[in-house]
Structure 1
Amino acid sequence: MSVKLVFLGKLADLSGAPETLVPGPLDWEGLLTALPGPLGEGARGDKVKLAVNGKLLSDKTALSAADGDEVALLPPVSGG
């Protein structure tokens, strides 16, 4: 089984695809390992938020995703 990573906004551009599958279960360190280069660096930043199955995490380092879960990486939103 696997965990689906969903990239939104500029993170989708950095990843080259809007989503990808990684082996589960997945914790914070596993997520960082699964994200290459600038994508991993972006995820470490304070402005990127994580949601698991649609629920926003208050502390992304507490990430715990099981097989079949969806983890969304949410970049900062700018508006006009």
Structure 2
Amino acid sequence: MIKLLFFAELRERLGESEMVMMDFSGSTVADVVNDIKQLNPRWYNILTEQKVLVAINHTMSGLSGAVRSGDEVAFFPPVTGG
């Protein structure tokens, strides 16, 4: 099981702030995103249409970041300063 969190614009567009993937058998963030494609193609499109930031257990990562059972994976939209 892994816990997925969605923040800011992503949360609004997906209509969810979090979800749990019970049967995650992959090993990277890219695998998580591909599993999301199977669950909901619309979510996959939202998560891949722009450069989304990812954190695993509160540490910034990328698509190649290792994910294990029990991890928390958070997705953030790109940020801009002002």
Q: Under TM normalisation by the shorter chain, which class is it?
A: 0.7 to 0.9
**TM-score, normalised with respect to structure 1:** 0.75
Query: Runs of 4 or more off by more than 3 Å in structure 1?
Result: none
Give the superposition deviation at 1:54: 0.6
TM-score, scaled to structure 2: 0.73
**Residue 33 of structure 2: SS of its match in structure 1?**
helix
What percent of counterpart residues are identical? Answer: 26
Question: Contact 2:53 / 2:75 at 8 angstroms: preserved in 1?
Answer: yes
Runs of at least 5 residues in structure 1 that lack an aligned partner in the other structure: none
- Higher share in strand: 1
SS for the counterpart of 2:13 is helix
8 Å CA contact 1:5–1:21 kept in 2: the answer is yes
| Number of equivalences | 77
State the one-letter code of the partner of 1:18. Answer: S
Is the CA contact (8 Å cut-off) linking 2:55 and 2:75 kept in structure 1?
yes
Helix, strand or coil: the match of 1:63? coil
| Structure 2 unaligned residues grouped into runs of 5+ | none
